[in-house]
């Protein structure tokens, strides 16, 4: 284990006037698009942590923890403009996981309402947080171009969480509630 200390103080008072710093030292308003994007990434990572706490199996836990690692990488890209940590293989990994979980499922004949077993219901919530995060990243992208692979990653992520929610319900023999298109 390294003796390196990345965080020595949590309270710095540096943000008391409504500003915060990127990792490169640039000061920004706390509601600047970069700060909004980093906050959304943090919220998404925390939501995934709650999903993990819902008692998912080891396969799903490993997938979720790997996603949390990539979200920290994405946060590093935002905090250090010009740095690229995600690339095409990261996007492909999400697609592979989605395909694997999809292969467990019956064909979908109607829209699915969010809910089901606790982990699946939370997974639906994580899907919406992923979409929110993607919107924040797109807003930042309009101001400061972002890594295309990172934008693709976030777009695929919400799809994965939709499929994963269905798979979690399926694995727990919990019927999905379908939209009644009356």
pLDDT at 25: 78
Q: Is residue 22 part of a domain?
A: no
Domain count, the chain: 1
Overall average pLDDT of the 63-80 stretch: 96
Query: pLDDT value at position 170?
Result: 95
Residue-level pLDDT at 110: 86
Quickly tell me which residue has 């698009």 as its tokens: 33
Is residue 108 very low, low, confident or very high in pLDDT (cuts 50, 70, 90)? confident
**How confident is the model over 113-170, as pLDDT tens digits?**
899 999 999 999 999 999 999 999 999 999 999 999 999 999 999 999 999 999 999 9
Task: Establish if 20 belongs to a structural domain.
Answer: no
CATH number at residue 139: 1.20.1200.10
Task: Please indicate, yes or no, if residue 93 is contained in any of the structural domains.
Answer: yes
pLDDT score, position 179: 86
pLDDT of residue 4: 61
Whether residue 81 lies inside any domain: the answer is yes
Instruction: Tell me if 36 is assigned to some domain.
Output: yes
Q: Is residue 182 part of a domain?
A: no
73-86 per-position pLDDT tens digit: 999 999 999 999 99
pLDDT at 79: 93
Residue (of 147, 141, 44, 161) closest to 86 by Cα position: 147
In a domain, 4, yes or no: no
Give me the DSSP letters along 40-74: HHHHHHHHHHHHHTTT--HHHHHHHHHHHHHHHHH
Query: pTM to 2 decimals?
Result: 0.88
Determine the Cα–Cα distance for residues 17 and 11; give it in Å rounded to an integer.
Answer: 14
**Lowest mean pLDDT across 7-21, 34-48, 140-154:** 7-21
At 8 the pLDDT is: 62
> What DSSP character marks residue 8?
S
Residue closest to 99 by CA, chosen among 125, 63, 65: 63
The residue range of the domain holding 61 is 30-104+111-171
For the chain, give the mean pLDDT: 90
C-alpha span between 176 and 64 (Å, rounded): 22
Domain assignment present for residue 7? The answer is: no
């Amino acid at each position: 284990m390294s003796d390196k200390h990345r965080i020595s103080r949590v309270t710095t008072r540096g943000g008391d006037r409504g500003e915060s710093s990127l990792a490169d030292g640039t000061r920004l308003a706390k509601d600047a698009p970069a700060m909004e994007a980093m906050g959304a990434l943090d919220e998404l990572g925390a939501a995934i942590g709650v999903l993990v706490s819902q008692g998912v199996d080891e396969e799903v836990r490993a997938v979720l923890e790997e996603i949390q690692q990539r979200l920290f990488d994405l946060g590093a890209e935002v905090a250090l403009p010009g740095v690229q940590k995600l690339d095409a293989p990261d996007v492909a990994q999400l697609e592979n996981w989605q395909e694997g979980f999809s292969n467990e499922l019956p064909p979908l004949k109607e829209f699915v309402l969010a809910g089901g077993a606790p982990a699946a219901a939370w997974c639906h919530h994580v899907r919406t947080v992923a979409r929110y995060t993607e919107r924040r990243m797109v807003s930042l992208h309009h101001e400061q171009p972002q890594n295309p692979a990172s934008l693709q990653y976030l777009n695929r992520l919400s799809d994965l969480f939709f499929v994963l929610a269905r798979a979690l319900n399926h694995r727990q023999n919990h019927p999905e509630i379908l939209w009644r298109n009356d």
